[in-house]
Amino acid sequence: MSESLDSGPPPQAPTTALRQRLAELRGPAAQPHPLDARALAALAANPGCKRRALLDGAGVDKAALASALGSPAAFGQSQFAFMRGNAFEAKVKADGGTELMRLLGVDAPAQVRVPDLTAAGPEGRAARTALALREATAAGEWTLLDHPMLALQVAGSPAYLEPDAVVVHPDGRWTVVEIKSFPMIDGSADAAKVGAAARQSAVYVLALERVAALTDGAKVAHSILLVCPKDFSNLPTASVVDVRKQLSVTRRQLARLTRIEDIAAALPEGTTFDLERPAGELTAAVESVSAAYAPECLAACELAFHCRDRARDAGVVEALGRGVRGELGGLTTIGEVLAAARSEAGDPDDPAVVALRRAAALRAEALEAAGCR
């Protein structure tokens, strides 16, 4: 898997047997749900979750699945925000990308090439994008690729990604452009939103590196151009964001993903996530694939509320966060933690147990001093 993330030919389509198996998992009437860069970045942030890897690889609509399980996702972009984002992107790219190229320091936008990337299907668009990138690099001219299609192999299955834009510089550099509708006030934007945009863009950079490895004179920039509204206006401004850290993490995490066919092969016979099946069968199917829940999933995965309920029912410490889980060592359930704190169980030489008992003693002292006991 790690080799496919660095260089080599475009990702191969799954074998006929795997395609058939993934179709069975989705259900006969379900169309595959596309895996976008935002979902891929979230998947890379939690590579130990086989449940998400399989559902995303099979193209299962996790939002619809969560609703069918009775735990609908409570997040997502509002229609107003979606329309505002589209309007801002259209403004940035208007007149052949005049404003966008100005932000890159190009004063003569008439000299910028904007190739047609139209093709049939995601495979065709990815091939057309790769050809346009090679032609632009060979020509040595400013070129703007509007919504190119990139391909990346993820856990043995191809994913097709669509950045807002990619700019080819005359010197052969390729720069990812990410256009967001959140404001940049006094030259800076919300750190959490910038971080999310950087993680998403790192996926695009990773996919571009595959094409650049086969293109003479090409080099993918490890910084992206983030375009946002300036202050409280609708005027675009831009900032260069270094994504080397996010790129390194994403590359490493995707390489750790278990291959989709290996996860599917371990499922019980007849397992399917067909939304037409009864809720009980769907629940059993979902539970047949192990998950790695953490509170961070609530902001990134449609199945997070279902997984949180199961984690709470099982009393596992992961429900409290990855940091807490790491501090507790061999104590894997909340019951074990409480028993260790009360000196009812646990190895007295275990540093985690010692810390818990000390914390319990300090709490008891504080409550007694406050007259609460």
171-203: pLDDT as tens digits: 999 999 999 999 999 888 999 899 989 999 999
pLDDT value at position 7?
A: 39
* Helix or strand run (H / E) with residue 269: none
Spatial distance between the Cα atoms of 81 and 238, rounded to a whole number of angstroms: 20
306-362: pLDDT as tens digits: 999 999 888 888 888 877 877 887 788 888 888 888 888 888 888 888 888 888 889
Give the number of other Cβ atoms within 10 Å of residue 255's Cβ: 16
Spatial distance between the Cα atoms of 177 and 57, rounded to a whole number of angstroms: 26
Residue 158 — very low, low, confident or very high, per pLDDT cuts 50/70/90?
confident
φ and ψ at residue 287, rounded to 5 degrees: -70, -15
Long-range contacts of 74-83 (CB under 8 A, 24+ apart): 74/305, 75/298, 75/299, 81/181
Residue 134 — very low, low, confident or very high, per pLDDT cuts 50/70/90?
very high
201 or 11: whose pLDDT is higher? 201
Residue 147 — very low, low, confident or very high, per pLDDT cuts 50/70/90?
very high
Q: By percentage, how much of the chain surpasses pLDDT 70? A: 93
3-class secondary-structure state, position 224 = strand
pLDDT value at position 4?
A: 39
Q: In terms of C-beta density within 10 A (0-12 exposed, 13-18 middle, 19 or more buried), how is residue 356 classed?
A: buried
Look at residues 24, 8, 64 and name the one whose alpha carbon lies nearest to residue 264.
Answer: 24
Res 156 pLDDT > 80 = no
pLDDT value at position 303?
A: 92
Res 258 pLDDT > 90 = no
Assess contact for 308 and 318: CB atoms under 8 A.
Answer: no
Tracing tokens 């809720």 back to the chain, one arrives at 279
Provide the CA 3 distance to its chain's centre, in angstroms: 20
pLDDT value at position 180?
A: 93
Per the DSSP assignment, residues forming a β-bridge with 154 are 157
The model's pTM is 0.75
Instruction: Write down the number of H helices and E strands in the chain.
Output: 14, 8
Spatial distance between the Cα atoms of 259 and 248, rounded to a whole number of angstroms: 20
Report the b/e string of 172-208 with b at 16+ CB within 10 A: bebbbbbbbbbbbeeeebeeeebebbbbbbbbbbbbb
CA quadruple 24, 27, 30, 34: dihedral positive or negative?
Answer: negative
Residue 1 — very low, low, confident or very high, per pLDDT cuts 50/70/90?
very low
Spatial distance between the Cα atoms of 324 and 291, rounded to a whole number of angstroms: 18
Identify the top-confidence range among 12-26, 131-145, 254-268.
Answer: 131-145
End-to-end CA distance of the chain: give it in Å, rounded: 58
Res 9 pLDDT > 90 = no
Assess contact for 167 and 103: CB atoms under 8 A.
Answer: no
Res 372 pLDDT > 60 = yes
